């Protein structure tokens, strides 16, 4: 297989020379200033530093490496002091596994992250300690052609909603992309191999070893063999990638690297479509989107106790968040079968039946006591209104708790979320 159009796509996705130079220059200047005020090593880490980032990726990740004998508290306080003294801008404290600093400088998103200096397979003190090791490992090994292939792979994945390790995507992280290209040597070879994957997939390019992981996608981290760098890739995303690669092998087309636009058709399914719209607070999408997905999941699970949900979808549409629900019926099923405890556990059976006035039963089926109850026939809209007024009851994410109380519920199958729902389709199939 040959992807003859690689250069054409690279021309669109590679950062401009000006952009790359400005990014590296700024990073170096910042590092020099900070090191005057703290005794540590500095390292520029991440895709920009390795020349594997996409155009418009304006992250500068600066790591400060401290000796392992120090405490976390010490390295954090030394970093804060040095950074604020050296670069007097508005730094914001963020918390991942431990605190780090963030600021926007000359249009770039700058992060300064303290960590402990480690050697490969030595064992880490903090999760972030791996990043400098990854940097060194990959910087030493990736060829110029492979760096281009990493960019192309990222573009392919991004286009097909496979890129990113966050919960909303559960796809392939930037690091996984680099490891995959390194392991299979080129994008073409990776695609050909992946087209033949039959999960569970096991990749270990450092040394052979028995697979101790139960994930469907295992990629042993080259700098920490006790870690599966691909753990976050979900089964769905793994199969979507395999299936996509099969089509690419069959017909290597440029279009796989280009973002698809959803056809704006709305389908009539004789179901109950509901769109819930509410205001999104003034925060970045990186926070708003995962929180919206979490809210969608929580709401779905809560409603499924009573109603028959066919599916859900959510979109962030500028200042408006939307959750779409498709239901089988406006009302819950009239009869609910409740499965009780094993019939020979007389104490549990007594407890289960206490106060219950079953509509049919109790009777024994298999090992269990069963009763059937008639459900309260409340319309989904009425039930939803009550539910949304108590956001904590269904696990609404914190940033939406306030606005979802004032959500607008419409029987709408033309909203953005509805269109996305009805058009859900892996186009290559």
- Which residues in this chain contact its own copies in the complex, by CB under 8 A? 197-199, 216, 235-236, 239-240, 242-243, 246, 267, 269-271, 308, 310, 326, 328-329, 333-335, 337, 342-344, 346, 349, 353, 359-369, 372, 374, 377, 421-422, 424-426, 429
Residue 52 or 312 with smaller CB distance to its own copies: 312
DSSP letters for 182-220: HHHSSHHHHHHHHTT--SSEEE-SSS-------SSEEEE
The minimum distance between CB 341 and its own copies, in angstroms, equals: 11
CB contact at 8 A, 112 and 62: yes
Neighbours of 217 (CB within 10 A): 25
- Pick 68 or 368: Cβ nearer its own copies: 368
Min separation Cβ 242 and its own copies, Å? 4
Nearer to its own copies, 318 or 366 (CB): 366
Which residue, 342 or 395, is less far from its own copies as judged by CB?
342
Integer CA distances (angstroms), 389 to 258, 275, 347, 386, 394, in order: 41, 16, 38, 5, 10
Report, in Å, the least distance between residue 60 CB and its own copies: 36
Q: Nearest distance from residue 110's CB to its own copies, in Å?
A: 38
Of 99 and 200, the one with the shorter C-beta distance to its own copies is: 200
Q: In the complex with its own copies, which residue's Cβ is closer, 331 or 400?
A: 331
Q: How far is the CB of 335 from its own copies (least distance, A)?
A: 5
Classify residue 259 by its DSSP letter: P
d(CA 251, CA 240): 16
* Cβ at position 268, least distance to its own copies in Å: 9
Name the minimum Å distance from CB 17 to its own copies. 39
Q: Could you tell me how far CA 139 lies from the centroid of its own chain?
A: 25
Please state the closest distance from residue 263 (CB atom) to its own copies, in A: 13
Long-range residue pairs from 379-383, CB within 8 A, at least 24 positions apart, any chain: 379/330, 379/331, 380/272, 380/274, 380/303, 380/307, 380/325, 380/327, 380/330, 380/331, 381/274, 381/330, 381/409, 381/411, 383/303, 383/306, 383/307
Q: Phi first, then psi: give them for residue 102, nearest 5 degrees.
A: -140, 140
Which residue's structure tokens are 């607008």?
408
**Which is nearer to its own copies, 301 or 405 (by Cβ)?**
301
Task: Return the HEC string of 143-172.
Answer: CHHHHHHHHHHHHHHHHCCCECCCCCCCCE
Pick the closest to residue 100 from 161, 52, 147, 59 (CA basis).
59
Nearer to its own copies, 135 or 349 (CB): 349
């Amino acid at each position: 297989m040959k992807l003859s159009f690689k250069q054409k796509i690279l021309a669109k996705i590679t950062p401009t020379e000006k952009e790359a130079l400005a990014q590296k220059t700024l990073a170096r200047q910042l590092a020099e200033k900070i090191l005057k005020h703290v005794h540590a090593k500095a390292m520029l880490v991440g895709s920009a530093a390795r020349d594997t980032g996409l155009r418009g990726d304006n992250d500068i990740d600066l790591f400060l490496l401290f000796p392992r004998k120090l405490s976390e508290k010490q390295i954090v306080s030394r970093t804060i002091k040095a950074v604020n003294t050296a670069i007097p801008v508005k730094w914001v404290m963020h918390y991942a596994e431990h605190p780090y600093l963030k600021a926007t400088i000359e249009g770039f998103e700058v992060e300064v992250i303290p960590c402990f200096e480690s050697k490969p397979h030595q064992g880490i003190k903090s999760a972030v300690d791996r990043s400098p090791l990854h940097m060194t490992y990959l910087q030493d090994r990736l060829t110029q052609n492979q760096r281009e292939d990493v960019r192309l792979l990222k573009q392919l994945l991004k286009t097909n909603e496979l890129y990113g390790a966050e919960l909303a995507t559960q796809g392939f992280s930037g690091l996984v992309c680099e490891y995959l290209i390194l392991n299979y040597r080129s994008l073409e070879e990776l695609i050909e191999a992946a087209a033949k994957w039959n999960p569970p997939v096991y990749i270990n390019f450092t040394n052979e070893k028995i697979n101790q992981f139960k994930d469907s996608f295992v990629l042993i981290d080259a700098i920490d063999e006790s870690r599966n760098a691909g753990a976050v890739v979900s089964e769905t995303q793994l199969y979507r990638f395999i299936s996509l690669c099969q089509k690419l092998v069959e017909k290597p087309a440029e279009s796989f690297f280009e973002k698809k636009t959803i056809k704006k058709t709305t389908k009539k399914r004789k179901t109950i479509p509901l769109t819930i719209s509410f205001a999104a607070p003034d925060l970045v999408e990186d926070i708003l989107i995962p929180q919206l997905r979490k809210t969608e999941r929580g709401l779905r699970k809560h409603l499924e106790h009573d109603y028959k949900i066919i599916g859900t979808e959510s979109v962030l549409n500028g200042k408006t968040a939307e959750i779409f629900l498709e239901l089988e019926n406006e009302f819950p099923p009239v009869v609910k079968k409740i499965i009780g405890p094993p019939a020979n556990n007389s104490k549990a059976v007594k407890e289960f039946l206490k106060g219950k006035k079953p509509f049919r039963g109790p009777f024994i089926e298999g090992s269990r006591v069963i009763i059937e109850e008639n459900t309260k026939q409340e319309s989904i809209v009425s039930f939803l209104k009550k539910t949304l007024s108590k956001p904590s009851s269904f696990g609404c994410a914190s940033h939406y708790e306030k606005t979802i109380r004032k959500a607008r519920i419409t029987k709408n199958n033309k909203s953005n979320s509805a269109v996305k729902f009805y058009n859900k389709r892996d186009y290559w199939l």
